[in-house]
């Protein structure tokens, strides 16, 4: 893969997006190059493209393999490993949403319910607005329910994932 500035800039932006969601920027940068590559891409090529250390690439590759976002392909001359992106990223994204975001929303709802269990006097003593607490509860529960529906759908390909997101967006508008 020839180093092209817009591709590197795109990988940097996707890395920033991935970093925003609590992963490491290198994951997004590596995944982007691997996903866009027409042929399997090797670790030395990734190091060259991203101008980062081999150690950083190796750690990032291993974590992407663990998440199931990429898989090993053939080895190149000299024994170097190449990688390709997993086609079924929908299931990987669902797994992350289920194991991270959904758990966080469930934990948040539990804490909200603990506050809702307080008496009106206890809420008043703590200065908590019961109407806003109920609104927060409704918001959290709605998002939790939406996410539960979203992650329960069987998504086998990127095109199915895109179709589900587009369908959800239509219902919002």
pLDDT in tens, 100-147: 889 999 999 999 999 999 999 999 999 999 999 999 999 999 999 888
Per-residue pLDDT reduced to its tens digit, 36-91: 999 999 999 999 999 999 999 999 999 999 988 899 999 887 778 999 998 777 77
Rounded to an integer, what distance in angstroms lies between the CA atom of residue 126 and that of residue 103? 27
Domain formed by 5-85, architecture? Orthogonal Bundle (1.10)
Residue tagged 């603990």 (tokens):
114
Question: With b meaning 16 or more CB within 10 Å and e meaning fewer, what string describes 86-102?
Answer: bebbbbbbbebbeeebb
Q: pTM to 2 decimals?
A: 0.69
Residue tagged 């866009």 (tokens):
36
Strand order in the sheet with 81-85: 41-42, 81-85, 70-75
**DSSP symbol at 1:** -
């Amino acid at each position: 893969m020839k180093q092209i500035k817009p591709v590197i800039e795109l990988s940097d932006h996707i890395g920033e997006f991935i970093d925003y969601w609590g992963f490491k920027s290198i994951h997004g940068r590596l995944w982007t190059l691997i996903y866009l590559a027409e042929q399997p891409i090797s670790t030395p090529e990734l190091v060259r493209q991203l101008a980062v250390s081999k150690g950083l690439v190796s750690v990032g590759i291993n974590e992407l393999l663990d998440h199931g976002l990429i898989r090993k392909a053939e080895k190149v001359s000299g024994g170097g490993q190449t990688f390709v992106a997993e086609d079924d990223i929908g299931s990987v994204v669902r797994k992350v949403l289920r194991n991270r975001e959904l758990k966080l929303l469930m934990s948040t709802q539990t804490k909200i319910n603990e506050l809702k269990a307080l008496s009106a006097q206890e809420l008043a003593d703590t200065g908590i607005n019961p109407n806003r607490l109920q609104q927060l509860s409704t918001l959290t529960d709605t998002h939790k329910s939406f996410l539960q529906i979203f992650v329960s759908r069987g998504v086998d390909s990127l095109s199915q994932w895109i179709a589900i997101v587009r369908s959800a967006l239509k219902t919002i508008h």
